[in-house]
Amino acid sequence: MMSIAVKEQLSWMNCKTSFLHSCNLFEALPADVDPAFRDLNRDMDPDFVHVFLDKLERYARKPDRALFLISYQGSIIAFATIIDTSPVPDDLDEQLRLELQACACGTGLMVLPEFRKKGVASLLVKEWTRWTQSRGLRGIWVVTRLMAEWYQGHFSYLQLAHIHRRDVVKTVLVKKIPSLQ
Ligand SMILES: CC(C)(COP(=O)(O)OP(=O)(O)OC[C@H]1O[C@@H](n2cnc3c(N)ncnc32)[C@H](O)[C@@H]1OP(=O)(O)O)[C@@H](O)C(=O)NCCC(=O)NCCS
Domains annotated for the chain, with CATH where assigned, are 24-176 (3.40.630.30)
Read off the pLDDT of each residue in 61-85 and give the average, rounded to a whole number.
Answer: 97
- Percentage of residues in the chain having pLDDT higher than 90: 83
Looking at mean pLDDT, say which of 14-23, 87-96, 100-109 comes out highest. 100-109
Residue minimizing CA distance to atom 40 of ligand 1: 110
Average per-residue pLDDT in the chain?
94
Q: What is the pLDDT of residue 102?
A: 93
Q: What are phi and psi for residue 90, nearest 5 degrees?
A: -80, -5
Q: What is the pLDDT of residue 119?
A: 96
pTM of the model: 0.93
Examine the pLDDT at 11 and tell me if it is beyond 90: no
Q: What is the pLDDT of residue 165?
A: 85
How many angstroms does the Cα of residue 45 sit away from the middle of ligand 1? Answer: 19
How many angstroms does the Cα of residue 146 sit away from the middle of ligand 1? Answer: 11
Residue minimizing CA distance to atom 18 of ligand 1: 117
Read off the pLDDT of each residue in 66-85 and give the average, rounded to a whole number.
Answer: 97
Higher pLDDT, 161 or 4: 161
Q: What is the pLDDT of residue 7?
A: 78
Residue minimizing CA distance to atom 39 of ligand 1: 110
Strands (E), the chain: 23-27, 65-72, 75-83, 104-111, 139-144, 158-165, 168-176
Q: What is the pLDDT of residues 92-113, one digit of tens each?
A: 999 999 999 999 999 999 999 9
Examine the pLDDT at 28 and tell me if it is beyond 90: yes
19 Cβ inside 6 Å of ligand 1: no
Q: Which long-range contacts (CB under 8 A, 24 or more apart) does 18-21 make?
A: 19/72, 19/118, 19/119, 20/118, 20/119, 20/120, 20/123
21 Cβ inside 6 Å of ligand 1: no
Angle at CA of residue 108, ends 103 and 109, nearest 5°: 115
Mutate to test the pocket of ligand 1, among 20, 42, 154 (most ligand atoms within 8 A of CB): 154
Smallest Cα–Cα separation from 78: which of 15, 123, 46?
123
CA distance 108 to 13: 27
Read off the pLDDT of each residue in 33-49 and give the average, rounded to a whole number.
Answer: 95
Read off the pLDDT of each residue in 49-65 and give the average, rounded to a whole number.
Answer: 97
CA distance 130 to 153: 20
Examine the pLDDT at 1 and tell me if it is beyond 80: no
Question: Which ligand 1 atom sits closest to the C-alpha of 149?
Answer: 25
